[in-house]
Amino acid sequence: MNSSTTLSHPAEPLARPAPEPVILVLADISGYTRYMTANATSLAHSQLIITELFTAILREVELPLAVAEVEGDAVFLYGRKQFCPMPTDEARRVIGARLARFLDIFAAKVLELSQGNHCTCGACTHLPQLKLKVLVHSGEALFYELAGFRKLSGVDVILAHRLLKNSVPHKHYLMLTEAARADVELPAHLEASEGVESYEDIGEIRTHIFLPRGARPPEAAARPRTTWRDRARWQAGLWWTPLVERLRRLRGGTRELKVAA
């Protein structure tokens, strides 16, 4: 991000139909597919937990980043570099702090949902296995509208999504491409290493991988923005949602018996 480029507010009108410089971020829940399929019998709790984790991340999103969409197991964010609400150096620090906080907040939220949860279903007992990987790339994207939704397209958007499949052996980490490294100033508590990924039709991509230090436990690193209403809603959903589902199935079975009679 050079001194002449900045990141935009999502309410800015679409620019001319041409690619523009952007920073792209994907916050992806590691182990999501296995978690959902392995706990299919407790789907109500699985989805409730995933919703709580996504909500914790979305609450941390602020300018100069904006939400593009939620893609199943990932939150897709972007920053437009043409309309900046802050100086470039400040934007680099703000983005870096947000990215690091995503990791901390996710881990803290998993811990919060696990503590005091006495449910023994598969979804609740396997909750601590969920981790977060945050992938960041800088490049160009074309903005367009489809059915009233703002969408992004381009080779760099494809590459950002390709990064979801990589060779990093860890489950909870932050990865920046070489292109994104200049756009982000990360906090010093992250441990860094370098890597290389290779993708068909794209080639080799140099990366920087950052891990939270092990000496920094989740409860000390960050606290989610949770109110007593959030906790009450979580507990109510934990027990009320499955009960409603059982009653619905029971009523459905009763109707079938009446029809058969």
pLDDT number for residue 2: 43
In a domain, 206, yes or no: yes
Are residue 136 and residue 233 in the same domain, yes or no?
no
The number of domains in the chain is 2
At residue 223 the predicted structure's pLDDT band, cuts being 50, 70 and 90, is low
The pLDDT value recorded for residue 69 is: 92
Q: Are residues 248 and 197 in the same domain?
A: no
Q: Is residue 92 part of a domain?
A: yes
Helix 43-58 with 88-114: angle, nearest 10 deg: 150
Q: Is 228 exposed, middle or buried (0-12, 13-18, 19+ CB in 10 A)?
A: exposed
Neighbour count for residue 54 (Cβ, 10 Å): 18
Do 76 and 190 lie in a common domain?
yes
Domain that holds residue 240: 227-261
- 139 plus 67 within the same structural domain: yes
pLDDT at position 85: 79
Whether 180 maps to a domain, the answer reads yes
What percent of the chain is predicted at pLDDT more than 70?
A: 73
In a domain, 138, yes or no: yes
Strands 66-70 and 149-153: unpaired
Predicted confidence at residue 103, as pLDDT, reads 94
In a domain, 11, yes or no: no
- Rounded to an integer, what distance in angstroms lies between the CA atom of residue 173 and that of residue 133? 5
Do 205 and 177 share a structural domain? yes
157 and 243 assigned to the same domain = no
* C-beta of residue 65 within 8 angstroms of C-beta of residue 10: no
The whole-number average pLDDT for the span 111-115 is 88
Bridge partners for 212 per DSSP:
190
Give the tens place of pLDDT for each residue, 152-208.
999 999 999 999 999 999 999 999 999 999 999 998 878 889 999 999 989 999 999
CATH number at residue 116: 3.30.70.1230
Judge whether 8 lies within some domain: no
Contact at 8 Å (CB) between 21 and 82?
A: yes
Q: Is residue 1 part of a domain?
A: no
Which pLDDT score is estimated for 227? 58
- Shared-domain flag, residues 85 and 157: yes
Residue 240, pLDDT score: 55
Regarding whether 252 and 209 lie in a shared domain, the answer is no
Q: Are residues 254 and 127 in the same domain?
A: no
User: What's the average model confidence in pLDDT over 233-255?
Assistant: 56
Q: What is the mean pLDDT of residues 114-141?
A: 88
The pLDDT of residue 155 is 95
Name the burial class of residue 15, with classes exposed (0-12), middle (13-18) and buried (19+) by CB atoms within 10 angstroms of its CB: middle
Q: 234 and 145 in one domain?
A: no
* Nearest-angstrom CA–CA distance, 127 and 104: 16
User: 220 pLDDT exceeds 50?
Assistant: no
Question: Do residues 193 and 231 share a domain?
Answer: no
Predicted confidence at residue 245, as pLDDT, reads: 56
Is the same domain home to 145 and 95?
yes
Give the separation between CA 134 and CA 166, rounded to whole angstroms: 12
Please indicate whether residue 220 or residue 146 has the higher confidence score (pLDDT).
146
**φ and ψ at 103, to 5 degrees?**
-65, -45
Cis amide bond preceding 10, omega within 30: no
